[in-house]
Each structure stands twice: as C-alpha cells, then as structure tokens.
C-alpha cells in the first residue's frame, strides 16, 4: 500500500523518484521498438517518438538520434543526481506506492474520462474509441506503441508543450500564472487530441473521439501537475496497454463508466 505519511505525496513527485520510476518504461519501449523495427527511428514507432527524434536528425544529421538520446538521458541523470545530493536516500516503499497509484489510475482513467465526456456530449462508447490505427497492427507492435505513448507523448505534450505554452502566456501575453496554466492545459489538450489523427496510422476524425481525447489530455495534464511525470507516464502507458489487450477489458470499462 502507498506510504501513509503526507511526505509521500511530495517526495514521489521529486526527480529522484519520478525519473527513476519512469526509466524502466523508457528502456522497455526502446528495446521492444528496436527488436521489432531493427532501427532507432524507422519503421512503426510511437508518433511522438518519431517527431522528437526527427527534429534532432534534421539539425544533427546522422548524429541526431545519438544526440537526442544523450540529451534525454543526460538531462534526466543530472536532475536525479542534483535531487539526490540534497535529499534522503531512496526508499523502496515510495516506489511501491507509486506503482499502486499507477494501477489504480490506469484502471479508472477510461471510466473517468468517459463520464466527463458524457457530460459535455452524448457519451462515446469506449469500444468506438479504441485506437483505430494501432488496431491494424499486431499485438507486440500495439504494446510497443502504447509504451511509447506513456514516455514520449507525456514528454512532448505535457512537459515540453504545456510548459512552453504556459511560459508564453506569462512572458508574452502577461497573464497571471494560474490563467497561463489553464490556457496552456486546454490548448495542449486540443493539440494532443489532434495529433492522434495525423499520419498513416492516424484515426478517422470524429467529434466524439476528438472530445474524448481532449478531455484525456486535460486529465493527464492535471495528473502531471499533481503527481509528477513518472506516475503520469506509466498511467498513460498502462491505460493504452489495457486498450491493446482486447475487448473484455473494454467491455468492463464501458459498463463501469455507463
């Protein structure tokens, strides 16, 4: 069970826990992706992964992917090192608590987002919202793309995009931090939703699924702000894995959210 002390909710968001917790997700995704595609960027991969690495390839040429990896791992390692220098040693019970949180959030995520979507629009069936493009892939590839969604979509859309939009709102438009954060969250969620309809594996654009993903983006941003990157990334990945595993789980979620 999660640690009972109030400090758990604070320390579990710190880089030494959050980034260490998410490291296995990054390793699992990259190993599975390379095993399936035999390449660091070509073949079927998560779209956010391809987009981020393509920017580095465009700038750095053949060294772009290596540079991206160095920046990603180097930045994460530095943040963990800096945090651990001024903090108590890592405690295994905190990681156990974070894992319990992830399982609970992933199990309830579809039901909560579906219920909120129902309040805004005649509720979509979660069966209709299963990833259409990914459904055309074999199961190992679907699982790989799901793991990549957790790590790279959260990095791109929550950490980088929402952070940049919030900064833009305060610096350029002079908004107060709260309203800049609200505007960045909503704009980021709309972009996050639209991202799922781009490319050869993109889904068919429909209002219900677009709204569902927009609400999901807002919820993921809220989870990121309150529980940190590690828990949010694993929650997103595990939820997408649940969707990839088939209809029995989806039927449960539909009944639960009805």
CA angle 224, 148, 221 (to 5 degrees): 15
Higher pLDDT, 5 or 191: 191
Confidence at residue 128, expressed as pLDDT on a 0 to 100 scale: 44
Confidence at residue 202, expressed as pLDDT on a 0 to 100 scale: 78
pLDDT at 183 over 50: yes
Query: Average pLDDT in the 144-154 region?
Result: 93
Q: What is the pLDDT of residues 18-54, one digit of tens each?
A: 999 999 999 999 999 888 877 666 667 788 898 899 8
Q: How far is 161 from 187, CA to CA, in rounded Å? A: 9
Q: How far is 127 from 247, CA to CA, in rounded Å? A: 8
A 10 A CB-CB count for 203 gives: 19
**Residue (of 19, 9, 13) closest to 151 by Cα position:** 19
Q: What is the pLDDT of residues 85-97, one digit of tens each?
A: 888 888 999 999 9
The model's pTM: 0.86
Query: Average pLDDT in the 143-165 region?
Result: 93
**Residue (of 212, 218, 257) closest to 108 by Cα position:** 257
Confidence at residue 201, expressed as pLDDT on a 0 to 100 scale: 72
Confidence at residue 88, expressed as pLDDT on a 0 to 100 scale: 80
Q: How far is 217 from 116, CA to CA, in rounded Å? A: 12
- In the chain the first and final C-alpha atoms are separated, in Å, by 29
Contact 191, 161 (CB under 8 A): yes
Q: Provide the percentage of residues in the chain whose pLDDT is more than 90.
A: 54
Confidence at residue 47, expressed as pLDDT on a 0 to 100 scale: 84
Q: What is the pLDDT of residues 221-232, one digit of tens each?
A: 999 988 999 999
The band of 6, judged by pLDDT with boundaries at 50, 70 and 90, is low
Contact 148, 29 (CB under 8 A): yes
């Amino acid at each position: 069970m999660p640690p009972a002390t109030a400090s758990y909710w604070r320390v579990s968001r710190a880089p030494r826990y959050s980034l260490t917790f998410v490291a296995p997700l990054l390793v699992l995704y990259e190993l599975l992706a390379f095993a399936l595609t035999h390449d660091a960027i070509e073949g079927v991969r998560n779209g956010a992964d391809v987009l981020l690495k393509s920017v580095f390839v465009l700038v750095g040429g053949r060294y772009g992917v290596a540079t991206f990896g160095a920046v990603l791992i180097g930045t994460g390692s530095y943040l963990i090192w800096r945090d651990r220098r001024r903090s108590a040693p890592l405690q295994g019970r905190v990681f156990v608590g974070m894992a319990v949180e992830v399982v609970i959030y992933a199990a309830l995520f579809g039901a909560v987002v579906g219920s909120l979507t129902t309040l805004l629009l005649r509720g979509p069936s979660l069966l209709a919202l299963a990833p259409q493009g990914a459904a055309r892939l074999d199961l190992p590839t679907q699982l790989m793309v799901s793991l990549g969604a957790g790590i790279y979509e959260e990095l791109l859309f929550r950490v980088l995009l929402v952070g940049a939009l919030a900064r833009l709102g305060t610096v350029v438009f002079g908004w107060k931090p709260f309203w800049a954060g609200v505007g960045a969250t909503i704009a980021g969620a709309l972009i996050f939703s639209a991202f799922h309809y781009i490319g050869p594996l993109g889904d068919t654009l429909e209002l219900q699924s677009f709204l569902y993903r927009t609400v999901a983006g807002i919820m993921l941003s809220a989870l990121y702000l309150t529980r940190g990157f590690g828990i949010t990334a694993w929650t997103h990945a595990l939820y997408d894995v649940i969707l990839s595993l088939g209809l029995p789980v989806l039927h449960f979620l539909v009944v639960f959210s009805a």
